[in-house]
Amino acid sequence: MTYKQYQSVIVDLDPTVGSEVKKTRPSVIISPIEMNSNLNIIIIAPITSDLRNYPTRVKVHLNNNESRIVVGQICTIDKQRIVKKLGQLKPKEKETLKNVIYKTHVQ
């Protein structure tokens, strides 16, 4: 199965430890298609329904509900944790996500 960058998916994140984001939840794929096509791992950022406006969260609309991508919890998972595919982020959401990742992980 092919997974695309900026695609939203449902991921089973349990078991977790400490302050990690828990349970089965929507997430967005961060890793590029070249990685997703050739490895059994994938890089994701979980999505939460908690609408607090932290600088490391990106507002998205998923299934007609406002949510936040939790950039501070980017992690690598095995593809076996993916339960199902959802959709793609909108162009503006992708651009905002790229900018937040750059600001929080590169500088």
Residue 90 belongs to a domain: yes
Q: What digits encode the pLDDT tens for the residues 44-58?
A: 999 999 888 898 999
* pLDDT in the model for residue 91: 96
Nearest to 44 by CA among 91, 93, 6: 6
* pLDDT in the model for residue 44: 97
Task: Tell me the residue type at 8.
Answer: S
* pLDDT in the model for residue 107: 59
Q: How confident is the model at residue 42 (pLDDT cuts 50, 70, 90)?
A: very high
What CATH number is attached to the domain comprising 52? 2.30.30.110
Take residue 89 and report the two structure tokens written for it.
Answer: 């982020």
* pLDDT in the model for residue 8: 96
Residue 26 belongs to a domain: yes
User: Are 20 and 46 within 8 A, CB to CB?
Assistant: no
Give the total number of structural domains in the chain.
1
Mean pLDDT of the region 73-101: 94
Residue 20 belongs to a domain: yes
Instruction: For the full predicted model, state whether its pTM sits above 0.85.
Output: yes
Question: How many percent of the chain have pLDDT more than 90?
Answer: 71
Residue 60: Cβ within 10 Å count: 21
The domain of 22 spans 7-105
Residue 1 belongs to a domain: no
Residue 25 belongs to a domain: yes
Take residue 39 and report the two structure tokens written for it.
Answer: 């490895």
